[in-house]
Structures are given as C-alpha cells and as structure tokens.
Amino acid sequence: MRQCLTSPDGGYYTAQNRDRDQFGQKGDFVTSPEISQIFGELLGIWLVAEWMAQWRKSSGVEIVEVGPGRGTLMDDMLRTIRNFKPLAASIECVYLVEASPSLRNKQKQLLCGDEPMEEIDIGFRSRSKYSDLPVIWCEDIRFVPNDPTKTPFIFAHEFFDALPIHAFQSVAPSPQTPSTIQGLNGPVPISKPTSTALTPQWRELVVTPSPSPSLNASAPTSPPPDFQLSLAKASTPNSLVLPETSPRYKALKPHPGSVIEICPEARSYAAEFARRIGGSPLPSKTPTTQTTKPIPSGAALILDYGPSATIPTSTLRGIRAHALVSPFASPGQVDLSADVDFTALAEAAVEASPGVEVHGPVEQGAWLERMGIRERAAMLGKVSGAAQGKDGEVGNEGVRRSVERLVERGGGGMGRLYKVLAIVPEGGGRGVVGFGGDVN
C-alpha cells in the first residue's frame, strides 16, 4: 500500500509524470471539500469554536493539515477564519504534511498564488495569499516543529484511509503445530512451539503472486491482477505482535474465521496528534495527569470513512475513475484505501497522552447539520448565481444538491459512511461543538 501510493518511483500520489489528476470528475474520486465550499467553511467554524472554548489565545496558534490534496479544504478554512480577526491575528503558521511534490505545488498555487516558495531545512516555505502568514510543507508530521507552548489545530480529511494496513485471520489450531515462522526469505524455525498453539492463532494475509493462468484456459477478457491476498502458512512477525496491541483484537482471536485490519501508522499519527495537544506523560512517580505540555491546548479533527465501533474487515480496495477495482490492478495507477478504525484512533490518542480526551466518532451528516450546514446553504443560496457547489453545479439548486450529497444518510450516503472524531484537551466534561456541545 505504501509503495503503491507514495513511492517516489511510480506511487499513485507521488509519481512525477502522472497524466491524470486524482481528483474531480475526470479523475478517480471526488472528496467532500471538492463538492462544496461549505464543507471547509464549517471546519473553519469548528476551529473558531474550539479557539473560543480555549481562552481565545492571542498568539501561538498553528494550523496543521495532513494530506491536503488540492488544498481546497485549507483555502476554504483560511478564507472563513479571516473574518474572525482576533483568531486570524493569533495564527503564526500553517503547516501542510504532504508526500506528493506535484500536489504540494498545486496547494502552493491555490494558497499562496505567485508568492515565491523556498526550500528550508524541514521542507518548503511560502506565504498565504491572504496575509503574511507563513505556509510550510513537510513530508512527514515528525518534521513539523512540536513546541509545547504552541496551540496546534490539526485536520485530517481522507488521509487515514490511505495509510497501509495489515490484515489477519484467526485460524483454528492444526493438529501439526508449525514450528516455523514466515521470515522475509522463507520459513524460519522457532525453538519451542508454544502451548498456545493449541488455541486459535492469527495468520497474516499477505500479498502473493497470482497463480499463472492455465495454458488451456480460454483467454480471459481482462487479465487477472498479478497479485492476490493469501493466508500465510505460519505466524509472521506482524501476526505475533500487532493483534496483541489491543483487547479489541484479542477478544476476536478465539473465534476462527475472524478477520481484522490493523493500521499501525494510523495509530501512531493519532498518538502524535494527542501528544502535540496534551503533551507526553512525564516519567513515572509524577501524577499521571502531568505531561510535558503544562497547559494542554489545540485540537485535532479527523474525518474519514469507516465503522464507528467495529474493527474493519476485508475493506482494502482500489478506486479508479469513480469505480471500485481490485487493489491489485495496475499498481501505482489506482487509488488504494481501507476503512478507518475510529475506535483504534481514539484508543491510541488517549493511551499516548493523559492530557487529551476524544469526542465521537459521529456521522458526518449529523456533524455537518450541528455545525449549521443548512443555515449556511440558505445564506449562500441567496447570494446570487455566484453561489455554487464545486461539482459544476451553479446557483441555489447547485448548493442544495451538493449539501444533500454531503449529509445523505441512505444507502451508501456520505452523511452516514463518513465519521468525524475530535481529540481535544482533557477538560472535565466540557462539550465540544459538533459533538453535542455548545459555545459558551
């Protein structure tokens, strides 16, 4: 998944000479910020509400977005925030975490226009077209400075579903317990087959070459993909370690046939967000609520698709030209994605920092309605024909249709499939706007 999506050599997002755009009607998929400007505006409003709830800081605010795509969401957010002068004045920097050089250039064009872009030690820097605000690009969140005196507001829209997953299936014990594990170069003997092999074991689903089609078979109309998922014959290092990292996975192990997907990188990103907001725990002996960040501040908002509470199962898919395709078809030419395990993100965040709490996940439709999508649509609809859904739909009707698309709950509607999760400073039960709370 990682190689297919972000390898500098032919990765779906990172290849130098792509002939097709990933986004939009002519590309492979359309994301919410590309459907309506209201989406980014409401995320901007959420930031305003959280900033108000956290003592309206007059300096030290940073906005971080991971996986900004075309930059549309950040552009709509910054345009909205500009109207809230004390907040706008408190923002010191915008950081964009982006693996793709070509998308970085698109984001720069949209957010900074003709301002020059220079290379700096952590990535690239330019200036917002709206103000003097520095905009800095980093390839990984670890390059974004982590200063406990700052207040980072972190956004991730359709980023987590692109991070590589591992899949495992629980298998009943076999009478002959294998005494090997699968190493990179074949089976490796393990000294003592453990007694736990008498109970079901996790086996990793690994990518293997597809069997060559039989010579006698009639030529298929489209050749089968070169690779497929197969159950490893023995334990792998991953299958021994990853499913042991949460009681949710352990609870499924005794049930042969259970399949789980685990995304270690998603867990580490959620943990990183949490530590930036709430600080890392101090060494033992000190009370557990104390962290390296004396006053937790900032927030993270994660929007993506996936189940609210269950562990994703067999959700790896390929997407090309708005249709589902085999994830093994045309590697590097096809978008790959897997459902996001929101409970795993929540678990990772609260484990990483005693200074945070998590709200949600809630369904995107409900969240947008609580944030005022209907009211904003009514306002925008009144503003002459300039009001438009970005998907080529103009005027009042265009706004109405794009809003319906974002909140639609029936069938595979985005309003239900997509979820929203917030990580905020631990606040003794304060409500969070969009998750049932109010601005006070």
Site stretch for ligand SAH (CB under 6 A), options 62-70, 116-124, 217-225, 273-281: 62-70
Nearest approach in angstroms of CB 213 to ligand SAH is: 33
How far apart are the C-alpha atoms of 415 and 408, rounded to whole Å? 5
Q: Is 44 in the site for ligand SAH (CB under 6 A)?
A: no
How far apart are the C-alpha atoms of 374 and 315, rounded to whole Å? 32
How far apart are the C-alpha atoms of 272 and 349, rounded to whole Å? 8
The values of phi and psi at residue 294, to 5°, are -55, -40
Nearest approach in angstroms of CB 255 to ligand SAH is: 32
How far apart are the C-alpha atoms of 324 and 317, rounded to whole Å? 7
Site stretch for ligand SAH (CB under 6 A), options 76-84, 155-163, 206-214, 239-247: 155-163
Q: Is 11 in the site for ligand SAH (CB under 6 A)?
A: no
Q: Is 5 in the site for ligand SAH (CB under 6 A)?
A: yes
Q: Is 91 in the site for ligand SAH (CB under 6 A)?
A: no
Q: Is 158 in the site for ligand SAH (CB under 6 A)?
A: yes
- Interface pick for ligand SAH out of 40, 44, 67, 296 (rule CB under 6 A): 67
Degrees, nearest 5: CA angle 104-299-110: 25
Q: Is 124 in the site for ligand SAH (CB under 6 A)?
A: no
Locate the DSSP E strands across 68-211: 91-97, 118-120, 123-127, 134-138, 151-157, 166-171, 180-183, 186-189, 201-209
Nearer of residues 53 and 406 to ligand SAH, judged by Cβ: 406
Tell me the C-alpha to C-alpha distance, in Å, between residue 228 and each of 205, 313, 428.
10, 16, 48
Nearest approach in angstroms of CB 153 to ligand SAH is: 15
CB within 8 A of 113, min separation 6: which ones? 129
How far apart are the C-alpha atoms of 102 and 108, rounded to whole Å? 10
Nearest approach in angstroms of CB 269 to ligand SAH is: 9
- Interface pick for ligand SAH out of 62, 98, 363, 369 (rule CB under 6 A): 98
Largest CA distance in the chain: 75
Q: Is 402 in the site for ligand SAH (CB under 6 A)?
A: no
**Contact set for ligand SAH, span 192-211 (CB under 6 A):** none
CB within 8 A of 379, min separation 6: which ones? none
Nearest approach in angstroms of CB 6 to ligand SAH is: 5
How far apart are the C-alpha atoms of 267 and 158, rounded to whole Å? 15
Calculate the dihedral angle through the C-alpha atoms of 238, 239, 241, 245, rounding to the nearest 10 degrees: 110
Strands 151-157 and 61-66: parallel
Degrees, nearest 5: CA angle 129-371-401: 80
Site stretch for ligand SAH (CB under 6 A), options 64-72, 171-179, 204-212, 376-384: 64-72
Nearer of residues 157 and 253 to ligand SAH, judged by Cβ: 157
Q: Is 69 in the site for ligand SAH (CB under 6 A)?
A: yes
Nearer of residues 69 and 279 to ligand SAH, judged by Cβ: 69
Q: Per-residue contact track with ligand SAH, 299 to 328, x per CB under 6 A?
A: ------------------------------
Cis peptide before 281 (omega within 30 of 0): no
- Quick one: residue 314, left, alpha or beta (phi over 0 = left, psi -120 to 50 = alpha)? left
Q: Is 159 in the site for ligand SAH (CB under 6 A)?
A: yes
- Interface pick for ligand SAH out of 1, 4, 6, 380 (rule CB under 6 A): 6
Nearest approach in angstroms of CB 201 to ligand SAH is: 31
Note the residues at the interface with ligand SAH (CB under 6 A).
5-6, 13, 31, 33-34, 67-69, 73, 97-100, 103, 157-159, 162
